[in-house]
Amino acid sequence: MTGLRAIYIIWYRDILRFWHDRMRMLGSITFPLLFLVIFGSGLSSSMQFTQLSMDEFDIVVAGGLSLPGDSVFIKMPIDYLDFMFPGIISMSVLTGALMGGASLVWDREFGFLKEVLVAPVNRVYVATGKVLGAATIALIPGLIIMIFAPILGISFSIATVFKLLPLMFLLAVSLSSLGILLATRIRSMEAFQMIMQLMMMPMIFLSGVFFPLQGLPSWLNFLTKINPASYGVAPIREVVLGKEISDPLGIKLFGHTMTMWENIAVLAIFGAMMITLAMWSFSHQE
């Protein structure tokens, strides 16, 4: 019971800090919405995305990209905004999860972490509380993004929301664990923010948020395959768009198209590794 209470207190403290920081809340929601408006609504009108039937589906990128004048023609089985919407949900969770480690660096700089470390509580419980707190906070922007689906003309059911929640939570826990792991080794907020920016943007752009993962150069294709976020975006997109549409846009390993459960398994294994390392690293804090 002491361990569960410690986890709850650490979790509740992070949630409370987020709730009272209105500018942080606004920023976490505004960032993905800007991408949704600029890329989804604005850019798709200048880049002519041709909607095809599944039998006609073809995508021309990388070496075969057609560039007549200033236009870019990409053939897809759906509208680009529909394609990008589940990616933006994933991106909002990803950014919030990775930045969750900032609270740990902040606590170290202001001395609160030292008080926690000398408390008669197993540090594993403290690390678990920090991971769950960061993951819960990361879910909030993703859920709010869903509210804008009807405004953008995207059909969304309550059943879809309930299917998405565990997938979003798995992605949030996995990347929150990575953020906490890095935060246990970083001593200043400036360094943490710099490293997170260096990690975050490549992870977003190489996860299939803004473009399909087919037809890429071999070196870029390799980077998308080792990006853990790719395996979080794919199942979320499949739930939102349906299996028939999402399969041609999915991750392919050695010629095999990854199923939703295979993507979930890869992400779960990555998350288990990260949370184990985060607990170990937190237990060796000085």
More confident residue, 62 or 157: 157
Q: Is residue 66 part of a domain?
A: no
| pLDDT value at residue 102 | 83
| pLDDT value at residue 43 | 59
pLDDT (tens digit per residue) in 7-17: 888 888 888 88
> What integer best gives the mean pLDDT of the chain?
79
* Beta strands in the chain, from DSSP E residues, in sequence order: 48-51, 73-76, 252-253, 256-257
| pLDDT value at residue 72 | 43
List Cβ neighbours of 236 (8 Å cut-off, separation of 6 or more). Answer: 86, 89, 90, 164, 167, 168, 171
Evaluate whether 170 touches 48 at the Cβ level (below 8 Å). Answer: no
Tokens standing for residue 176: 């929150």
257 pairs with which residues across the strands? 252
pTM: 0.83
Q: Is residue 169 part of a domain?
A: yes
| pLDDT value at residue 42 | 60
Number of structural domains, the chain?
Answer: 1
Top mean pLDDT of 138-147, 215-224, 246-255 is at 138-147
Q: Is the pLDDT of residue 271 over 50?
A: yes
Confidence of residue 75 (pLDDT cuts 50, 70, 90): low
Q: Is residue 226 part of a domain?
A: yes
Is the sign of the CA dihedral 11, 12, 14, 19 positive or negative?
positive
Give mean pLDDT, residues 68-89: 65
Lowest mean pLDDT among 18-27, 124-133, 156-165: 18-27
Q: Is residue 132 part of a domain?
A: yes
Give percent of the chain with pLDDT exceeding 70: 84
| pLDDT value at residue 263 | 92
| pLDDT value at residue 285 | 67
Give percent of the chain with pLDDT exceeding 90: 19
Which residue type occupies 17? Answer: R
List Cβ neighbours of 104 (8 Å cut-off, separation of 6 or more). Answer: 113, 130, 180, 183, 184
Q: Is residue 253 part of a domain?
A: yes
Q: Is residue 54 part of a domain?
A: no
Q: Is residue 63 part of a domain?
A: no
The boundaries of the domain holding residue 147 are 2-44+79-283
Q: Is residue 19 part of a domain?
A: yes
Confidence of residue 286 (pLDDT cuts 50, 70, 90): low
pLDDT (tens digit per residue) in 207-219: 888 887 777 788 8
